[in-house]
Amino acid sequence: MVLAHDENREPGNNERTEAVTIDCEGDVEAPSVDYAVVKPFQTYQNPLRRVGWFRLLIDDNCDPDALIYIGDSAGGFVAGPFHNGDQVEIAKGPSLTPGQSVPPPGSPNVARIRLRGGARMFGVDGEGNTSLFKKIL
């Protein structure tokens, strides 16, 4: 839906809605991914690790629910899928076992992710188009 202004509106009625159809058949444009730092990485000992909180963002020209994944640069582990606006906790450290788990009740995060290497996020839309990797700090 697109919000439009109608020049021939009645008094007190400033807006009208208008349905717009976007043809996405044969879409070849990959989504774009980004993140917002909610809590910057902090270093902890025993085991040595860096932990931070991040809000994941994705934008696609056709798919309103494109998915986000987070890969470990030190191996083949991939966490996800996540949705636009999801907040996650990422811990990375050389002795951590890569994995994804549910955070404790009351946490604003949808997942806790453990990685050995760096966090690299990417997005995939409904047509299978995949974004470039984006390094998370």
In a domain, 89, yes or no: yes
Global pTM reads 0.81
Listed in sequence order, the residues at least 6 apart from 15 whose beta carbon sits closer than 8 Å to its beta carbon are 3, 4, 5, 6, 9
Q: Per the domain annotation, does 46 fall within a domain?
A: yes
- CATH number of the domain bearing residue 49: 2.60.40
Number of domains in the chain: 1
Mean pLDDT of all residues in 107-121: 97
What would the pLDDT profile of 53-112 be if each residue is shown by its tens digit?
Answer: 999 999 999 999 999 999 999 999 999 999 999 999 999 999 999 999 999 999 999 999
In a domain, 117, yes or no: yes
Residues 19-30: pLDDT tens digits?
Answer: 655 667 778 899
